[in-house]
Homo-oligomer: A and B are copies of this chain.
């Protein structure tokens, strides 16, 4: 099996190395990673900007993997790989992450990790995004790690549907199990406050807190995560609201 891996925290992130190590149990791994952090890059693509792609020497701990670095976004990474390294034969699976931070609820629309999966879904390639609800650079992936290969095998055994991918989020610490979930309704608030830069100019730096609109609903990703479960949400690149069409 040929597995293509990317992330949005950039090459060298602890979560990416953990994912590569695990995926090497399933087949040959090719990595194409951004050369810098690309959090919040969503499905951004580099329009009119020339991109570079460099093959890196492979570190010993992931010997056998092919590693490429680009100055593009996570979406660029998948598009570049599909049109160059894999131009004669698409990869069998795209995996993205492990993201340092949650991509549950509305975060999915801002997520570079999931953006890469959506590009794969557009190309008809099965794709899974993995995220841990811990932004720390040295986040502890050890509780999630035993779930990675069983979940991947389970999802690959399902019939593949065009335009669909999977969004897996794990809570910090002990894990009680896995729940199939839907995206929780909620919004970010208090995201920008005026601050002052060193020149006395007003600047705005993104922050904020998530306001959960349905904390009691037990079928959401947020509920699963706050109760110690891994959330597994199938996501579609078809954003049509069919209820509004009827």
Query: How far does the Cβ of A24 sit from chain B's closest Cβ, in whole Å?
Result: 27
Report B-chain residues with C-beta under 8 Å of the C-beta of A205: 48-51
Question: Within the assembled complex, what's the spacing in Å between the Cα atoms of A9 and B194?
Answer: 26
A201 to chain B: closest residue by CB: B52
Size range of the chain A interface in the assembly: 35 or more
> Does A202 interact with chain B (Cβ within 8 Å)?
yes
Select the residue from A46, A80, A236 with max chain B CB neighbours within 10 A. Answer: A236
9 further A-B pairs in the complex, CB-CB below 8 A; given A106-B122, A109-B122, A183-B238: A42-B45, A44-B73, A51-B206, A83-B190, A164-B244, A185-B238, A234-B244, A235-B240, A235-B241
Q: Which residues of A contact B (CB under 8 A)?
A: 37, 39-53, 73, 75-76, 79-80, 82-84, 106, 108-110, 115, 118, 122-124, 161-164, 180, 182-183, 185, 187-188, 190-195, 197, 201-206, 213, 233-245
